[in-house]
Amino acid sequence: MRIKILQGDITTRSTDAIVNAANSSLLGGGGVDGAIHRAAGRELLEACRELRRNELPGGLDVGKAVATPGFRLPARWVIHTVGPNRHAGETDPGLLASCFRESLAVASQLGVGSVAFPAISAGIYGWDARQVAEVAYDVVTALGDSVPERGGSGNSGPGSPLEIVEFVLFSEQTAAVFQSVFEG
């Protein structure tokens, strides 16, 4: 599995799936969530409303993940996950790790070869970008048969089609933090 750290707009990535740092309502919001909803078009909101009506009447729990089609995005799928909000007292790194782990599990179920993540819970949810990067590194590298040296690459596990995991960070500063963590 190859890991890439990029500075840019996740909504423009042509990976098989992108991960949305959603709120529990799944009905759009600010930051990455709002950008993804705007780029995907009204169909994404309708798909999320359908999920709420049928599968998730109470919304998506923190640390869980669910997929919808990508609609007008270059990515075929959007994997929605709800990160913990430090400002609301959700300070357990295990919840943050669950976001990455559950998103990767959904990606595996979808059979995707590539997935792009934002810095889940960094920004408005108050998590330090370095801590988010460290948790992401631990989860993603644990996925492989052999954990790579920082900056290296490993396998994505037996039978796993996942070949590329990207971290697409909007700000140069966050991208630099992720780069420093992943290159060790």
The set of catalytic residues is 33
> What Rg do the C-alpha atoms of the chain give, in angstroms?
15
Q: How far apart are CA 82 and CA 80, in angstroms?
A: 7
CA distances, 29 to each of 34, 70, 97, 109, 148 (Å):
5, 17, 22, 26, 36
Q: In what order do the strands lie in the sheet with 77-82?
A: 2-7, 164-169, 114-117, 17-22, 77-82, 65-69
Dihedral sign, CA of 55, 100, 133, 179? negative
